[in-house]
């Protein structure tokens, strides 16, 4: 547990340009506090002290605005940036070196039993406000855009955008390095905008054909 805590500190220091030193992170970062107390509550949960585990979890939610169920399984190096409004469900599994921004929900759909929450691979980024709902996997090195709603499995090395989310980039097209997380949440293709552009082009083609037919009819008359 203590090795993971040290790793978490280093991960925030490396990835957050606003973090000046580890002491500041340890004392002032609510995202770090949420992960720190999750690890403590998870230890109690594994030792069958379920009430204490849930008590720590609920107190942490009160003070940080982040709710992590003590039964969730979280790897090393999780960064919760800004933190407020993040929810991580009971059967969630998170790999190493992942980043969650504010407002992220890793939850269930309400219709599943047993494994109800998602599994994130390593080096996954989930943008602010995104919802990942259901017992499927988001592959390693993938990126979920801000406010996306993910309801089905995402392959490795992919970018998912939209409501419901669709994969817009996959291996072979701007694949991110295996050990590097791209923090850019702005320059992501919008599939809805792309479809509207296609429809607009199709409409313009139809207009041209109609105009040509009108000219031909006028000529015949």
Look up the CATH number of the domain holding residue 13. Answer: 2.160.10.10
Strands of the chain, DSSP E: 67-68, 73-74, 79-80, 87-88, 93-94, 99-100, 105-107, 119-120, 125-126, 131-133, 137-138, 143-144, 149-150, 159-161, 166-169
Q: How is residue 182 written in tokens?
A: 């791209």
Please, where are the H alpha helices in 47-131?
50-64
100-19-104 Cα angle (round to 5):
15
214 and 108 assigned to the same domain: no
83 and 171 assigned to the same domain: yes
- For 43, the domain range is 2-189
62 and 42 assigned to the same domain: yes
pLDDT per residue, tens digit, the chain (221 aa), is 677 788 888 888 888 888 888 888 889 889 999 999 999 999 999 999 999 999 999 999 999 999 999 999 999 999 998 878 999 999 999 999 999 999 999 998 877 778 999 999 999 999 999 999 999 999 999 999 999 999 999 999 888 998 888 888 776 465 444 455 555 555 555 666 667 777 888 888 888 888 888 888 777 66
Q: Considering the entire predicted model, what is its pTM?
A: 0.72
173 and 202 assigned to the same domain: no
Q: How many domains are contained in the chain? A: 2
């Amino acid at each position: 547990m203590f090795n993971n805590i040290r790793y978490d500190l280093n991960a925030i220091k490396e990835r957050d340009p606003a973090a000046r030193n580890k002491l500041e992170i340890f004392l002032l970062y609510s995202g770090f506090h949420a992960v720190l107390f999750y690890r403590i509550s998870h230890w109690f949960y594994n030792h069958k002290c379920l009430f204490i585990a849930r008590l720590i979890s609920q107190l942490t939610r009160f003070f940080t605005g982040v709710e992590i169920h003590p039964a969730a399984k979280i790897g090393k190096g999780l960064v919760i940036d800004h933190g407020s409004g993040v929810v991580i469900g009971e059967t969630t599994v998170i790999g190493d070196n992942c980043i969650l921004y504010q407002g992220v929900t890793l939850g269930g759909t309400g219709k599943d039993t047993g494994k109800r929450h998602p599994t994130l691979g390593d080096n996954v980024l989930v943008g602010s406000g995104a919802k990942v709902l259901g017992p499927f996997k988001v592959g390693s090195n993938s990126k979920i855009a801000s406010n996306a709603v993910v309801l089905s499995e995402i392959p490795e090395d992919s970018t998912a955008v939209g409501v419901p989310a669709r994969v817009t980039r996959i291996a072979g097209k701007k694949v991110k390095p295996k050990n590097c997380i791209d923090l850019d949440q702005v320059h992501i293709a919008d599939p809805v905008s792309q479809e509207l552009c296609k429809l607009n082009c199709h409409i313009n083609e139809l207009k041209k054909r109609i105009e040509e037919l009108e000219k031909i009819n006028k000529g015949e008359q």
